[in-house]
C-alpha cells in the first residue's frame, strides 16, 4: 500500500547543523581572524590531524572560506580544500585484530589492536569507507578502514550457549589476563558477540568474562540497507544536543533547589515572590 501520499523525501527532514571535518590541508594556508582585516592568526598545519567544526561559511575572493572551531574553541577563517567531511555515528563500539587495508601506520594503531574501541565518525576517501576510531573516553582519533572493524553486537533477546570444559576465561577484551579454565561444560549467557570474529563476552554466575569460541551467532534484527549519512549525522547531532540540554536543565534545577533550601520563607507573600523571580523548580519536569 502506498502511504507516502505527500511524496516526502529525506531532504524534507534534513536540518542545517554544524558540519565536522577531519582537518588535513596540504601546504601552509593562512588562518584569518577576520575576513575584513585579513589578520593572519595561525597556519593551517597547526590543525592537521584534528577534528574541526564549521560554524559558518562565506565566499571571499572567489574562495569558499570556513570559520572553524576545535574542541569548542573558535579558531578562525580558512579555505578547506583537502579536509574530509565527517559524518557523526551513534554509539558504535567494536574491535579490530588485523589490518587488511592500511590507512594508518601500524605504529599509530598498536595501542588499539584487539581492544574495545569506539567508531565515532565515518568519511569516504576514493569511495572507500574510513572510520575515525578512539579508545572509550578518549578524543585521540585514528583512521581505520571500515572493513577491518568488527562491531560489538548485543543480543536482542536473552541468548545462552554451551561452552566446553577447559575453555579459558579471560578478564579483558584483549585476552592478556586469564582467570581460570572451566572445570566442566557450562551454559552461559552471551553479553556481547562479533559477527565473523570468534570472540564473546559471557556471564557466568553474575561474573563477566571474555572467551574465544567458534560461534555462528548472527544478527536477528533488520539493518538499514541504504544509509543516508547526512541523515545519520543530523540525528546523532540532535541526540547529543538533547543530552547536553538535559544536563543543563538538571544542573539549573539543582541550583534552584539549593537556593530554595537555603532561603527561609515565613509567609505566602515571600513564597509568591520566590516563585515569580526564581521560578518553580518542578516546572521543567
Query: DSSP state, 167?
Result: P
- CATH for 87-151 is 2.30.30
Side-chain half-sphere CA neighbours of 282 within 13 A: 0
What cell numbers appear for 176 in the block? 592478556
**What is the per-residue pLDDT for 161?**
93
Given CA atoms 239, 244, 249, 251 in this order, what sign does their dihedral have? Answer: positive
Reported as a single tens digit per residue, the pLDDT across 73-87 is: 999 999 999 999 999
pLDDT of 60 strictly over 60: yes
Report domain extents, the chain: 10-82, 87-151, 160-212, 229-277
- CATH for 160-212 is 2.30.30
CATH class as words, domain 10-82: mainly beta
Average pLDDT, the chain: 87
pLDDT of 111 strictly over 50: yes
pLDDT of 54 strictly over 80: yes
**What is the per-residue pLDDT for 273?**
64
pTM metric for this prediction: 0.82
The reply to whether 10-82 and 160-212 are identical in fold is: yes
Q: Is 251 helix (H, G, I), strand (E, B) or coil?
A: helix
Cβ(49)–Cβ(82) below 8 Å:
no
Confidence of residue 93 (pLDDT cuts 50, 70, 90): very high
Cβ(150)–Cβ(94) below 8 Å:
yes
Amino acid at each position: 500500500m502506498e502511504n507516502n501520499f505527500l511524496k516526502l523525501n529525506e531532504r524534507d527532514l534534513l536540518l542545517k547543523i554544524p558540519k565536522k571535518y577531519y582537518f588535513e590541508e596540504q601546504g601552509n594556508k593562512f588562518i584569518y581572524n577576520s575576513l575584513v582585516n585579513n589578520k593572519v592568526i595561525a597556519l593551517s598545519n597547526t590543525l592537521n590531524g584534528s577534528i574541526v567544526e564549521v560554524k559558518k561559511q562565506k565566499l571571499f575572493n572567489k574562495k569558499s572560506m570556513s570559520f572553524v572551531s576545535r574542541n569548542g574553541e573558535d579558531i578562525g577563517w580558512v579555505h578547506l580544500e583537502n579536509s574530509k567531511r565527517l559524518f557523526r555515528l551513534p554509539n558504535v563500539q567494536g574491535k579490530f585484530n588485523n589490518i587488511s587495508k592500511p590507512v594508518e601506520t601500524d605504529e599509530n594503531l598498536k595501542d588499539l589492536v584487539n581492544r574495545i574501541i569506539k567508531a565515532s565518525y565515518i568519511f569516504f576517501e576514493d569511495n572507500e569507507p574510513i572510520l575515525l576510531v578512539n579508545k572509550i573516553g578518549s578524543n585521540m582519533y585514528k583512521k581505520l578502514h571500515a572493513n577491518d572493524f568488527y562491531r560489538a553486537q548485543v543480543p536482542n533477546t536473552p541468548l545462552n550457549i554451551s561452552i566446553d570444559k577447559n575453555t579459558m576465561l579471560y578478564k579483558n577484551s584483549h585476552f592478556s589476563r586469564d582467570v581460570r579454565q572451566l572445570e566442566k561444560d557450562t551454559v552461559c549467557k552471551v553479553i556481547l558477540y562479533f559477527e565473523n570474529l570468534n570472540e564473546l563476552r559471557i556471564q557466568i554466575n553474575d561474573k563477566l568474562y571474555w572467551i574465544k569460541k567458534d560461534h555462528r551467532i548472527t544478527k536477528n534484527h533488520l539493518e538499514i540497507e541504504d544509509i543516508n549519512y547526512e541523515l545519520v549525522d543530523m540525528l546523532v547531532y540532535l541526540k547529543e544536543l538533547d543530552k547536553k540540554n538535559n544536563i543543563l536543565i538538571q544542573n539549573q534545577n539543582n541550583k534552584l533547589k539549593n537556593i530554595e533550601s537555603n532561603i527561609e520563607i515565613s509567609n505566602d507573600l515571600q513564597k509568591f515572590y520566590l516563585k515569580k523571580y526564581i521560578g518553580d523548580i518542578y516546572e521543567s519536569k
